[in-house]
Structure 1
Amino acid sequence: MLFPSHYLLVDDSPQDRLLAQEAFEALCPDCMLTCVGSGREALTLFDDPTFEPEVILLDLNMPGMSGFELLKVLKNDPHRVHIPVVILSTSDARQDISQAYTLHASSYLVKSATFTAFLQQVETFLHYWQVNRTTRRAGQAS
């Protein structure tokens, strides 16, 4: 199975970053997962013109620069606007979900509470992006 090869996770929780790393290692060992703890760190990565993750996983509630602020910056940048951003948050508040989609998030996932459930959530996410990637490539070939 072919998954997008490079993901960026922006999450201020070291525990959530570790869980994501373990899930990706178990489900997609050939994938690269870059993890940073803040929006500012993520923007610093983009200073390197060769840094281009295929999908960004973004937490909303972070100190300093919130996920909403980072999403707005990314979607207003002509070099980054094409990168799908998937919100991965503990918030299931309607206003957060609505705001994320208003700011052009590609998807919104509420973080699962247990590792087993999170593992299933990541597996579903990876399969979704595989289908999405394959469909986009087929459409471009036509």
Structure 2
Amino acid sequence: MTEHNQNNNTAILLVEDDDLDAVSVKRALTKLNTNNPIYRAKDGIQGLELMRSELSGRPFVILLDLNMPKMNGLAMLKELREDPKLSHNIVYVLTTSNREQDKASAYQHHIAGYFLKSTLNHNYSELGSMLNQYLQINEPPVQHVN
């Protein structure tokens, strides 16, 4: 039998420019005693730099906002999918954008899900619970092989 929860190697990267939303998401994950490290970037440039620098080689589950300064979420997603060292990471979009064009663009870049902040009513406990459960049963590779 495979031993579950070897996912401590998988980090959660929250790419969110809104401080209140970032605190709320982190709080929801912390309440669930998520053992996975949680990192935050305030825009796509910072998110990509973080993944390419000190955290290089580590698998990520990314919670990605779309509407951010400097580099928005769709631009980050495009660059992420074009980079062979980063393209394997799981991405969930967490945004205020209900535009069909944004949803279609995000899914064309192979996201795992698209969540509207308004639907969640800024209560991220259900999202945190879903993410925690995913991380508990998912079996990522120990180290990504190119």
TM-score, normalization by structure 1: 0.82
Partner of 2:121: 113
Give the residue type in structure 1 aligned to 2:45: R
Larger RCO, structure (CA 8 Å, separation 6 or more): 2
Question: Number of paired residues?
Answer: 133
User: Is residue 2:15 matched to residue 1:10?
Assistant: yes
The within-5 A match list for 1:22-61 is: 22-48=27-53, 50-51=55-56, 52-61=58-67
Identical-residue share of aligned pairs (%):
31
Relative to structure 1, is the Cα distance of residues 64 and 78 closer, same or farther in structure 2, using a 3 angstrom cutoff? same
Distance in 1 (alpha carbons) for counterparts of 2:48 and 2:129: 27
Higher helix fraction (1 or 2): 1
Partner of 2:84: 78
Distance in 1 (alpha carbons) for counterparts of 2:114 and 2:14: 14
Equivalent position SS for 1:46: helix
User: Is residue 2:24 matched to residue 1:19?
Assistant: yes
Deviation at 1:130, TM superposition (A): 3.4
Relative to structure 1, is the Cα distance of residues 26 and 15 closer, same or farther in structure 2, using a 3 angstrom cutoff? same
Relative to structure 1, is the Cα distance of residues 46 and 31 closer, same or farther in structure 2, using a 3 angstrom cutoff? closer
The within-5 A match list for 1:97-136 is: 97-111=103-117, 112-115=120-123, 118-131=124-137, 133-134=138-139
Partner of 1:69: 75
Relative to structure 1, is the Cα distance of residues 36 and 49 closer, same or farther in structure 2, using a 3 angstrom cutoff? closer
Relative to structure 1, is the Cα distance of residues 46 and 120 closer, same or farther in structure 2, using a 3 angstrom cutoff? closer
Query: Per-residue displacement from partner, 1:68-111 (whole Å, max 9, x unpaired)?
Result: 00000000000011111111112222221111001222221112
Relative to structure 1, is the Cα distance of residues 130 and 110 closer, same or farther in structure 2, using a 3 angstrom cutoff? farther
Distance in 2 (alpha carbons) for counterparts of 1:122 and 1:93: 24
Query: Per-residue displacement from partner, 1:11-55 (whole Å, max 9, x unpaired)?
Result: 010111101111111013422110111111112213326432421
